[in-house]
A = this chain, B = another copy of it.
Amino acid sequence: MNLARSFTALNKLLGFVQISRTCVAQSHSQPALTAETYNVKRGNYSTANASDLDAFRNIVGDNNVVTEASELQGNNVDWIKTVRGQSTVLLKPKTTTEVSRILKHCNERKLAVCPQGGNTGLVGGSVPVFDEIILSTQRMNEVISVDPFSGVMVCQAGCILEKANQDLLEHDLIVPLDLGAKGSCHLGGNISTNAGGLRLLRYGSLRGSVLGVEAVLADGTVLDCLSKLRKDNTGYDIKQLMIGSEGTLGFVTAVSILCPQKPKSVNVVFLGVDKFEDLLLLLRKAKQDLGEILSAVEFVDSDCIGLVGKHLKLVNPIGEYEFYMLIETSGSNSQHDEEKLSSFVEDIITSQLAKDGTIATDFNKMQSIWKLRESVAEALTHDGYTFKYDVSLPAHVMYDMVHDTRKHLKGLYNSVVGYGHLGDGNLHLNVTCPEYNKTIASAIEPFVYEWTAKHNGSISAEHGLGFKKRNYISYTKSKESINFMMKIKQMFDPNMILNPYKTLPGNID
Q: Which residues of A contact B (CB under 8 A)?
A: 147, 149-150, 172, 193-194, 196, 200, 204-205, 207-209, 221-225, 227-238, 240-241, 243-245, 249, 261, 263-264, 280, 284, 287-293, 331-333, 336, 339-340, 392-396, 421, 424-426, 456-465, 469, 473, 476-478, 480-482, 484-485, 487-488, 491-492, 503-504
Contact = CB atoms under 8 A, between A and B. Distances in A.
A405 to B, nearest CB: 20
Nearest to A194: B233
Nearest to A475: B234
A83 to B, nearest CB: 18
B458 A232 contact: yes
Given A207-B207, A477-B235, A504-B235, A292 B332 contact: yes
15 contacts: A207-B207, A222-B480, A224-B478, A230-B425, A231-B425, A231-B462, A233-B458, A233-B463, A234-B458, A235-B245, A235-B473, A235-B504, A261-B287, A336-B339, A491-B491
A461 B244 CA distance: 24
A284 B171 CA distance: 12
Nearest to A230: B424
A421 B487 CA distance: 38
A484 B478 contact: no
Contacts of A481: 223-225, 235, 238
Given A234-B465, A288-B332, A503-B235, A229 B392 contact: yes
A460 B233 contact: yes
Given A205-B231, A233-B463, 15 more contacts: A204-B208, A207-B208, A229-B456, A231-B462, A232-B392, A234-B460, A235-B504, A236-B484, A236-B488, A237-B240, A240-B240, A261-B288, A288-B332, A488-B491, A491-B491
Given A149-B395, A292-B292, A484-B491, A456 B228 contact: yes
Contact of A234 (B222, B229, B477): B477
A426 B209 CA distance: 16
Nearest to A478: B224
Contacts of A485: 235-236, 238
Contacts of A240: 207, 237, 240-241
Nearest to A206: B208
A172 B207 CA distance: 26
A457 B238 CA distance: 17
Nearest to A211: B205
Chain multiplicity (copies): 2
Nearest to A241: B236
A149 B281 CA distance: 9
A484 B209 contact: no
A117 to B, nearest CB: 16
A394 B147 CA distance: 10
A418 to B, nearest CB: 16
A422 to B, nearest CB: 11
Contacts of A331: 291-292
A251 to B, nearest CB: 14
Nearest to A280: B149
Contact of A336 (B233, B340, B458): B340
Contacts of A204: 204, 208-209
A396 B292 contact: no
A398 to B, nearest CB: 11
A333 B336 contact: yes
A231 B480 contact: no
A238 B484 contact: yes
B244 A237 contact: yes
A478 B223 contact: yes
A222 B333 CA distance: 49
B230 A426 contact: yes
Contacts of A235: 245, 465, 473, 477, 481-482, 485, 503-504
Contacts of A209: 204, 208
A207 B224 CA distance: 20
B480 A284 contact: no
Interface-central residue, A205, A209, A421, A478, by most chain B CB under 10 Å: A205
A283 B494 CA distance: 47
Given A221-B480, A478-B223, A481-B238, A458 B231 contact: yes
Contact of A244 (B223, B236, B336, B456): B236
Contacts of A224: 478, 480-481
Interface-central residue, A235, A421, A458, A488, by most chain B CB under 10 Å: A235
Interface-central residue, A230, A396, A459, A476, by most chain B CB under 10 Å: A230
A488 B485 CA distance: 11
A236 B489 CA distance: 9
A425 B151 CA distance: 12
A87 to B, nearest CB: 25
Interface-central residue, A463, A476, A481, by most chain B CB under 10 Å: A481
